[in-house]
Amino acid sequence: MLQQTQVKKVVDYYRRFLQKFPTLEKLAESNLQELLKMWEGLGYYARARNLRKAAKIVVSDMNGEVPTDYKTFRKLPGVGDYTAAAVQSIAFGHVHAAVDGNVKRVIARMFMLDSPVNDIKFQSLFQEKASFLLDRDQPGTFNQAMMELGAMICRPKAPLCTICPVNLFCTAFQSACQDQFPLSLKRQPIPSYYLVVAVIRRDEEILILQRPTDGLLGGLWEFPCGEIDKVEELPEDVCCRIIQDSFNLQIEVTGFLTQIKHAYTHFKTTMDIFECRYLSGEIVLEQMQDYRWVKSDQIDQYPLIGANHKFLSLV
DNA sequence: AATGCGGGGTT
DNA sequence: AACCCAGCATT
């Protein structure tokens, strides 16, 4: 949960998660949809699938015992260099330096490194520096201290150098140039897309679709939608045409609900949401994995994408 | 080595 | 609007 996600956001999810899946065995035999529901809104849903996969492996192949050595643990799905080092050092006291985004920033400033922290080429450099600094006697505590230092004191903007416990050892602070570090590569500008979303009612039920298990928002549910290239026609007409072309359903638009914006990592979207009525047609799924006609008070039972939650109360 | 993958807080 | 976050898997 903590991969690329701040502690504050994780805490509540973590508590609920442990309550629902208190043991490795419970997690291993969990239903993926139920797990995704617990993960709903946390993002990076492959983490949930990998965690479940890892639990299955540990239960079935490892006698239910989490590996206590770095190499074996590192092989589990979803476990990379950082997670392996963090868990093995904190849980078992093994000597591995955990290098996350916070640690890289601390190191870049401490040694005035001109290597961009977001350039994978220099990952090993930061790893070496962290290993050099690591306290061999209490690696877990040291790793947590480094991460906490980065999060609380050695912040991205306006670091609190005057109260930093290690400012005597920080070459950037001693040179009064801490604001020039760390360096990072500019990211590419991200594209924008326009989508129409159809809330299609048939009697008392509404149509929702399940996204493919892998890829963006894998396994989550959403209202039918489609991309508009240009806004030349009436949005209502575009909406009907897209639903016809994508799902073989004939519908009519009964009203405009709202417009929302939603940003992802690599693109951002503007969505026009339309209230629609089902007219005819048998649904055909090409892109999507599954579909359901559900009553509006049942939607909560499905893990829904965040963009749809933004207008769900209106539905 | 580069890219895809969320969502929210901070500046 | 840009940046960042207790990164990992895939290609």
**Same-domain check for residues A25 and A55:** yes
Of all nucleotides, the one whose C1′ comes closest to residue A1's CA is C6
Q: Please check the confidence at residue A230 and state whether its pLDDT lies above 90.
A: no
Decide the pairing of beta strands A225-228 and A290-295.
unpaired
**Same-domain check for residues A159 and A297:** no
**Same-domain check for residues A219 and A156:** no
pLDDT tens per residue across span A80-103: 999 999 999 999 999 999 999 999
**Same-domain check for residues A14 and A162:** yes
Residue with CA nearest B2 C1'?
A120
Going by pLDDT thresholds of 50, 70 and 90, the confidence category of residue A244 is very high
Residue with CA nearest B7 C1'?
A43
DSSP state of A205: E
CATH value at residue A230: 3.90.79.10
Domain boundary among A126, A148, A180: A180
Which residue type occupies A235? P
Taking the CA of residue A165 and the C1' sugar atom of nucleotide C10, their distance in angstroms comes to 41
CB under 7 Å from any atom of strand C: which residues?
A: A 2-7, 44, 46, 50, 76-84, 86, 100-102, 104-105, 118, 143-144, 147-148, 150-151, 156, 182, 184, 186-187, 189, 265
**Residue A1 is assigned to a structural domain of this protein:** no
Return the axis-axis angle of helices A139-152 and A123-133, rounded to nearest 10°. Answer: 120
- From CA A141, how far away is CA A210, in angstroms rounded? 43
A41 touches strand B (CB under 7 A): yes
**Same-domain check for residues A32 and A77:** yes
pLDDT tens per residue across span A4-13: 988 889 999 9
pLDDT tens per residue across span A25-82: 999 999 999 999 999 999 999 999 999 999 999 999 999 999 999 999 999 999 999 9
Q: Please check the confidence at residue A233 and state whether its pLDDT lies above 90.
A: no
User: What's the number of domains chain A is made of?
Assistant: 2
State which residues form the domain around A307: 192-312
- Phi and psi torsions of A138, nearest 5°: -140, 70
**Same-domain check for residues A112 and A196:** no
Domain boundary among A180, A202, A224: A180
A265 touches strand B (CB under 7 A): yes
- From CA A177, how far away is CA A188, in angstroms rounded? 27
**Same-domain check for residues A50 and A102:** yes
Going by pLDDT thresholds of 50, 70 and 90, the confidence category of residue A231 is low
**Residue A19 is assigned to a structural domain of this protein:** yes
pLDDT tens per residue across span A168-224: 999 999 999 999 999 998 888 888 999 999 999 999 999 999 999 999 999 999 999
- Phi and psi torsions of A80, nearest 5°: -110, -165
